[in-house]
Structures are given as structure tokens and as C-alpha cells.
Amino acid sequence: MIPLRQNIASMAGYVPGYQPPDIASWIKLNTNENPYPPSPAVVKAILQELGPDGSSLRIYPSASSQKLREIAGELYGFDPSWVIMANGSDEVLNNLIRAFAAEGEEIGFVHPSYSYYATLAEVQGATVRTFGLTEDFRIADFPERYDGKVFFLTTPNAPLGSAFPLAYIEELAGRCAGMLVLDETYADFAEGNALDLVRKYENVVITRTLSKSYCLAGMRLGLAIARPEVIAALDKIRDHYNLDRLAQAACGAALRDQTYLRDCCRKICATREWFASELRAVGYTVIPSQGNYLFVSPPGRNGKRVYDGLYERKILVRHFSDPLLAHGLRISIGTQEEMEKTLKAIIEIG
Ligand SMILES: *Cc1c(COP(=O)(O)O)cnc(C)c1O
């Protein structure tokens, strides 16, 4: 027997959404990737960084990603000392747990939301407490004073799509004795964000990613915004060269092209609203969404049956076996053409 830590030996490990090997033959709507290519400026920047013979790759990248902190800081209205770059926002979520929750200490989050928080806590040996949602989209039984070390709030919520009102998030910041991490993965598709709360409350952290709205899931780029003391702590923990050279080049170009980002998000939101109304017209229940996905349930409330029907037609969506979610499906928003094909298939499946 190898001498593994007990919690690692007994944990199941996170299962990411399926990535089919023959990707071109699928309509892939299962992991909230963006259907559009990234900004042309991103491709240009990567090629330029690579150079004719790739010799730049001999040299380590900037350890601090300082330039990117400046660009992101300017974009969001913060001094660069309030920003840290990450190899996907998953990296910074992990480091937040490592910085704030010791073995045996508690982290909390809403269920349903992003179950990866639980996996990260398990690795750390931290304990997990989950909270349900009420009918009016508030956290059920959230204590007047929550004393877990970190509370993760996914807003807009994934997989459901609703965002929490800013006033409610502000109230939670006051009720959390530990850190309140706002996972704003989908904020670029939403009507608002909570960046102001980072300035107002020392326990608030915001995480963002370039995976979804910037069409760069394959580059692994994320960031966090928080007080400089928090950023300094996260800086001690991260891999010192966490962003490679090509990722740094891509990130700078992507963040600078806000016109492309806005156009892309506008297209996806328009397709999302069209698809939602078409599904409602055929009897589906559709939760209003501020993300690039919809949580929908068919009239017969048998999500798995529709999942299977779509799978046979080479359309991949997400079905969760969790009893709270099994009646429905989470469908990422693809191009208008992909969603027209998906709608046709859904009607055919009946
Ligand atoms: C996709 C997703 C992430 C992970 O983003 P990466 O930057 O690709 O690591 C984090 N949180 C939520 C809620 C997500 O949906």
C-alpha cells in the first residue's frame, strides 16, 4: 500500500463535463464553452509571442504576470496590487481554500452550484457545508453570522442561471465572518456585477475567468480581485510561473479587445433569449438566465430521456443525476444555427 493521506485515498475526484475525442462531429453544449473563436487580436498576439522558431519558449514567462495585472486593474478600476492572475479561475479557487481554510475548518457554498469547491476542500482536508435555495432565490437557513472560513457564492448561479441581487450579496458580506468569494465566471453575460463590494468589504473576493466570455477555455486564464493583503497571500501560494508565455500574450490581447467581448456576449445573449422563448412555446420550463446557458426542464420532467435523445443526434448537453437537477438539463448557448438544430431535435424527441 502506498502511504496516501486518508482524505485523498477516500475521495472520488472531480468529474469534468465530457470532452468527446471526435469533437467536430458534435454540437457541444455541455461545458459552457463559447461557440465563437477568440478575438483575432488574441491569435495574432500568440503567434507574435511564439515568433518564427518558438525560441521565446526557452525563457520562463513573467512570474508575476505584472503587465496583465495592470491591464485587468485598469479595466475593472483597481490598482494592480488588487489583482492576481491565475491558470484558470479554478487555480485561484483552490488557492483561496489553501490560504483561508486549514484542515478541519469549514467552507460553505450553495447547492446546486459549482461542485468543484467541494473537491478542493476535500484535498485540503477542510469540511464542507452546503446550503439550499429558497423559492425566491435566497440562501436557505443562512445563519445571521456564518463562521465558516470561506463561503463561495456562484453569481450568476451555475447551473441555474439566476444572479443574486447586489443588495443581498452585500448583506451576505456582512454576515460572513470569513471570506465571501463571489465566483463571477458568468458576469460578462449578466446585467450587473459586485465589483463595488470588493472596495467596500475587506472579506470580499471576486473571481473571473477568460474561459467562457472571452472564448479561451483552452488557454486556462482566470483572475481574482481582492484587497492587496489577500492578493499577497495568494501570491505566496501559487505556482510561481502559473501563466505560460502564450497564455499571457493571449490574455493581454483578449482583455484589451473589449469591443469583441461585448459583441460576442451580445450575440450569445440574443440567441439565449430566442432559444428560451422557443422552448417555452413547446411547453418547457426555462429559468431566466444571466449566463451563457439555460437550465430547462421538459414537460414530462424527464431530463435524462431528452439528454439521451439529443446524444443520439450528436448534440451534447449536461444532465446532472443529482435529485434536485435530474428533471432538467443545462444547455450551453451555441451559435444561432446550433441552437436552431438543437430546438429541432428537441421537438422531434417530443
Ligand atoms: C467554468 C467555471 C469555472 C472554471 O473556470 P476556469 O477559469 O476555466 O477554471 C469556475 N466556476 C464556475 C461556476 C464555472 O462554471
Cα–Cα distance between 260 and 324 in angstroms, integer? Answer: 37
Instruction: Check pocket membership of 222 for ligand 1, CB cut-off 6 A.
Output: yes
Residue to substitute in 96, 111, 212 for testing ligand 1 pocket (most ligand atoms within 8 angstroms of CB): 212
* 63: confidence class by pLDDT, cuts 50, 70, 90: very high
What pLDDT, on the 0 to 100 scale, is given for residue 57? 97
Going by alpha carbons, the residue nearest to atom 2 of ligand 1 is 185
DSSP character string of 280-304: HHTT-EE---SSSEEEEE-TT--HH
85 Cα–ligand 1 center, Å: 14
pLDDT score for 282: 98
In the predicted model, what is the mean pLDDT of residues 31-43?
Answer: 98
Partners of residue 160 on adjacent β-strands: none
- Pocket flag, ligand 1, residue 91 (CB < 6 Å): no
Residue whose C-alpha is closest to residue 97's, from 127, 120, 131, 115: 120
Residue nearest to atom 14 of ligand 1 (CA): 185
Whether ligand 1 lies within 6 angstroms of the CB of 207 is answered as: no
Report how far residue 132's alpha carbon sits from residue 139's, in angstroms, rounded to the nearest whole number: 6
The average confidence (pLDDT) of the chain is: 97
- Mean pLDDT value across residues 179-186: 98
**pLDDT at residue 17 tops 90:** no
Residue 18: the pLDDT is: 87
Contacts of 57 (CB under 8 A, 6+ apart): 50, 245
| Ligand 1 near 213 CB (within 6 A) | no
90 has a pLDDT exceeding 90? yes
pTM: 0.97
Sign of CA dihedral 230, 236, 239, 244: positive
Interatomic CA distance for residues 91 and 110, integer angstroms: 20
Cα(97) to ligand 1 centroid in Å equals: 15
Closest Cα to atom 11, ligand 1: which residue? 185
Check residue 190 and give its pLDDT: 98
Question: How far is the C-alpha of 107 from the C-alpha of 238, rounded, in Å?
Answer: 20
Confidence of residue 159 (pLDDT cuts 50, 70, 90): very high
Closest CA to 185 of 216, 162, 158: 158
What is the C-alpha separation between 194 and 181, in angstroms, rounded?
A: 11
Ligand 1 centroid distance, CA of 234 (Å) = 18
Residues in the chain: 350
1 pLDDT more than 90: no
Cα 349 to middle of ligand 1, angstroms: 31
Q: What is the pLDDT of residues 200-258, one digit of tens each?
A: 999 999 999 999 999 999 999 999 999 999 999 999 999 999 999 999 999 999 999 99
Q: What is the mean pLDDT of residues 328-350?
A: 98
- Give me ligand 1 centre to Cα 210, in Å: 9
Spacing, Cα 185 to ligand 1 middle (Å): 6
Domains of the chain listed by start with CATH number:
6-30+259-349 (3.90.1150.10), 40-257 (3.40.640.10)
